[in-house]
Every structure is written in C-alpha cells, then in structure tokens.
Amino acid sequence: MDIFLQQLANGLTIGSMFALVALGYTMVYGVMRLINFAHGDMVAASAFVGLTIYTQVMGQATSLGAVIVIFLLAALTMAVVGVILERVAYRPLREAPRLSAVVSALGASLVIQNGIMLIWGPRMRIFPELVPQVYWDLGGVVISLIQVIILALSLILMVTLYLFVEKTRMGAAIRASSIDQDAARLMGINVNNVIALIFIIGSSLGAVGGLFIGLYYRGITFNMGWQYGLYAFIAAILGGIGNIPGAMLGGMLLGLFNAFIAGYVSSTWADAFTFILLILILIVRPTGILGERVAEKV
C-alpha cells in the first residue's frame, strides 16, 4: 500500500507538469487546428531563460520573492516569444494547406532547439536548489516541498484558466473562435487577437512547466523539449485534443499511468506502454476521454 501511494504521489507530480505543457498544445489546436510542435522546445527554452534570469538578472538570489520574479519574468519572456512565433511561423500560412503549417511547426521546433544549443551550449546545465529540500514522511509515503508546490501551483493555474475560458468575455471569444472562426469574425470578434492571446497563455503556462522541470530534476538539456513535448502531446490527445479540461485530465492520467507502469511492470517499458495507450485511444476513442467534438467540419 505504501508503494502504491508513493507511486501515486510520483505520478501526480509528473502528471501536473505534463498537464501544464499539454494545455499549450490543446489551446492552439482548439482554435487553429494546428499541432504546435514547437511548444515542447518553448518549454525547454523557458527553463534556460529562467536559469539566465536567476544568474544574470537576480544575481543568484534565492529568496521566495526572487523565485516569484523568475517565474513571472520567464513566463513574460516566453509569452513574447510565443507571439513572435505565431506571427512569423504560423500567421503567413493560415490560409495555406494544413500540411504547410505542420511543416512550419516542425521547422520552428528545430530552430528553437538549435537556438538554445547555440546560446546556452550543448552541455547539460544545472538549476540551482531554489526550493529547500524539505520532506514529510507520512507513514511510509514521502512527499517533498517541491512536489507540493508543483501540484498546488499547477492546480491553481488550471482552475484559473478554466474559469477564465468559461466565465469571462475574452474566454467566450476564445470558445467562439474555436467553434467557427468566420462566424466569430462576423460577431465582431478579432480572431487575430484571440490567437495571440492563445499563444500568450499557452506559452506562459509552458514556461511554468519548464521551470518546474528545472526545479524538480535540476538538470536541463537543449534537446529535452522533444521528450516533454511528446508526452504532453499524448496527454492532450488522451484527454481530447482541443479540450481544456481534457488536457488537464490527460496530463494527470498519463503521469499516473507512467508511474504505475514503471513501478509495477518495468521502467524500460514505460515509454512503450505509453505509446500502446496512445494507439488504443486513437483506435477506440479518437476524440479522447473528454472530447465530444464531431469529427471534422468540411
């Protein structure tokens, strides 16, 4: 039982990181019908940006205030990069066949990944210990402070995002654009602004995910975006791509699935089982767990 609960805690921590990253995929897909393959690399870039802010801007300060400033600055930087990415790589191709946009996304992914390598070098960079190593032993299950922070902050961000999309006027504009861009435009919604907003929100949530990866695992490499991007992409499909609560659920479920497979079957097989799960979902329920969208509009 201890092992089960411990794997549950492990799975939820990693799952909430997947969920934060998955939101970026799902929101862009929801409005633009485009898989933003560069998103994983944006997440990796945010970890490096956060590290540079820590060493260059904050002068290696480790107070709580400094950590909050690092999060805000990194999220802001990545939001700007996200908007630039949309303007440069996706907007010119909005009317083009969908394949062109996907190829452009893959290209953007390579540009960002190699950009990180050129700026920060090919070596693994190491994050400072910004969160004190505090642990609680709850009857055999050990939970660390960083796990609690990751889980709590992820949940707060996800609930806020959900309320924003469901309850505000801007949220209604996002939902309207995701249903039908032309009709939304006729209703006086500026779809370009909505898309920019989607990239701002998705990129800054991804930035928080990237910083969590840095804080939790400490080692960051220029090519790690691929791995996390792929997992988050699977999480988004699992929950139903284009569906915001679906991405949150998909991320959590994928984290748990991974932890239990690695724990009870074999860590070697965790990736293989994840992809088998993806294939099964695509065969049995292609719209994902929460996706109710009717196939494709023509």
- Applying CB under 8 A, the residues found at the interface with other proteins are 2-3, 6-7, 10, 14, 117, 121-124, 126, 129, 133, 135, 137, 142, 144, 213, 217-219, 221, 224, 258-260, 262-263, 267-268, 270-271
Shortest distance (Å) from residue 137 CB to other proteins: 6
Q: Which is nearer to other proteins, 185 or 271 (CB)?
A: 271
Token pair of 267, please?
């860590």
Shortest distance (Å) from residue 267 CB to other proteins: 5
Q: Which is nearer to other proteins, 137 or 292 (CB)?
A: 137
Shortest distance (Å) from residue 241 CB to other proteins: 24
Shortest distance (Å) from residue 33 CB to other proteins: 32
Shortest distance (Å) from residue 275 CB to other proteins: 14
> Which of 166, 170, 235, 179 shows the shortest CA–CA distance to 33?
179
Q: Which is nearer to other proteins, 204 or 258 (CB)?
A: 258
> Which of 257, 244, 227 shows the shortest CA–CA distance to 291?
244
Shortest distance (Å) from residue 110 CB to other proteins: 15
Shortest distance (Å) from residue 297 CB to other proteins: 39
Q: Which is nearer to other proteins, 122 or 286 (CB)?
A: 122
Q: Which is nearer to other proteins, 92 or 121 (CB)?
A: 121
> Which of 86, 91, 81, 89 shows the shortest CA–CA distance to 44?
81
CB 238 within 8 Å of CB 288: yes
CB 229 within 8 Å of CB 112: no
Q: Which is nearer to other proteins, 249 or 259 (CB)?
A: 259
Residue whose pair of structure tokens reads 């700026």 in the numeric block: 119
Shortest distance (Å) from residue 140 CB to other proteins: 9
Token pair of 69, please?
């400033």
